[in-house]
Structure 1
Amino acid sequence: MKRSVLRNFKQILTSKEHLFIWLFAIVISIVMLIVQAQFDSLNEGFWLSLVPNIIADMLSIIVATYIIGILLQKNEEKKSKARVYKMFGKRFENMTISIGKDFVNFVTKKPCSLKGDPNNVNDLLDQIQHFNNNPQLYIDENFLRKNIKVLHVDNSVHTGNIFDMFKELEVKFQDFTIYFKDKVSKSLSEFVTKYISVLPDELREKIFKVEDILLSDIFLTYQDLNIQLNTESAKFDPNQVGETFKELGEEIYGLITFFEENKGEDSVKKRRIVSSSLLTDENFILAIVYVMLAYIFIHQLT
């Protein structure tokens, strides 16, 4: 953390800016010494008074450096996130929405239905959040025994109406688990492989977290163990299963909303405001450094 903060702090200062700061500090020091000598004297009391002032000012510089470094680090993370979103944001959004729909289908035992737009992200997030807040309403002692209703596309139907091609079928829990694991794992793995060089660390951690959860016992299938499993007679703790699915739901929710602040025209305007704000503007931070140096040397010589 310390090295990262100092590295970010140094990145905004070019060699010319370093030279300017040193020249600025030296000039201020000389001017203040001349003023002191002119109106008072450079006696022993004057030099001794510098000691506690220097200690206090050094502590101030350390604190200010960390604060500036943290601000720069956050600003750089926002800029990096915005750049990454421009690269693959829409593809990532489509992938996570599809995973979110399958998750809702998994826990509710019925096809995910969204209000109006089939890609209504807000409605999808509301459904995932409702499960995360109330897993006990969805997972009971019959959860592993109940079949899951899914929508199947029947290409043999030629009525001219695309909705007539969709048929509702029931699949066993184990079969849907295999489908869900394979689809999610394959989608995330291909995505990471393709964009590994530009993925933010935070996003990479979230993706790996989802993959880790899918390796837990509740998602084991007869394909993994190479034996037949009868989940209809399996005994399990609904609370424990609910916690596992809740953890997965929270991670999927986090993936869908990861680039939320970067979406749409409003977020573009927001980023412009943030990038020009005083707290994240490099020029303003440099100005703070100059003012801080001036204050320190004036304070030492008064």
Structure 2
Amino acid sequence: MKAFKANGTQSFHFNRLLKEEQKLKNQFQFIDDSLYTLASRQIRIQDVVNKNVGEVHYNIEQALHHLVENNLGKGISHQQYVMNHANVLADLLSDALSNMQNQLQMQSSGKGKPSPGQGDPQLSDIIQKQKGLEKQFQDGLDNKEKNGDKPGDEKGNKPENGAEGEQAGKSCKNGLDGDEAESEALLEIYKEQQRLREAVQKALQKQPGNAGSDKVLDEMKKLEQNLLNQGFSKQLVNQFKNLNHELLKLETAFKQQGDDDKRQSSTNTKASQGEQKNIPQSVLDYINTTEMLQKNSLPLLPKYDNLVKEYFK
């Protein structure tokens, strides 16, 4: 990508760079089979792997198409998307490798597994981290607007009178560092959003049955997808706020469910004790007599005894 920016379409190196881009496309096809196999074995990462592998294929194709058409600006833009999605996959695999190495070290050192419940996430902590992530996204959006990074209006209209070529030329000269910094910041927000969703899933496993839990998880998945598709966009600010609102509602439902369980448990105990006091003595004598009879086996011949056992089975 840097070489395309530095040389441009008129350079005699352009054909060689196109061949290098085609070679990268072919090399990634050898990798995607392994990634799909990994995703099929690990349900937790299946959606992330499949989505990002598909995005890499699509953007490599689009980059080659636009570069062959001498549309350098769009070609480099799709190359940047390839890097973003490849970084997500690389980070995912790196975390998986680190976790495996840590587990092997714990086993080799003889350390036992952590006790159940240790380190489990609390919903209140997740809400605070989600608010911090919203502020981090807002800061990134402010920096983008401050730097004047406006590729077009919100309707997707393009600049007129050759402004697109002029803008692409400026991007080729001095836009690389800004794009890389923006992509890196967005990737960190995306990774943290994934971790928060996994933390919410763990919290829901401890206290299932809440009506709003599915909605919260869906909102978090949509936000992750939009972070990759839209980047630092004003529309996502509202999505962050809605997600925080849904998390607060879920926390309230958790507390209400805990209070209801305590009241239900106390009510059932009192009701049970009251019923025992009101049972007449004659009924209690009958129950005790029946239980005594049930404990004694009937005097049957072995043949009929086996038939009775078969019947009750």
- TM-score between the two structures when normalised by the length of structure 1: 0.29
- Structure with the higher helix share, 1 or 2: 2
- TM-score between the two structures when normalised by the length of structure 2: 0.28
Higher relative contact order (CA closer than 8 Å, sequence separation 6+): 1
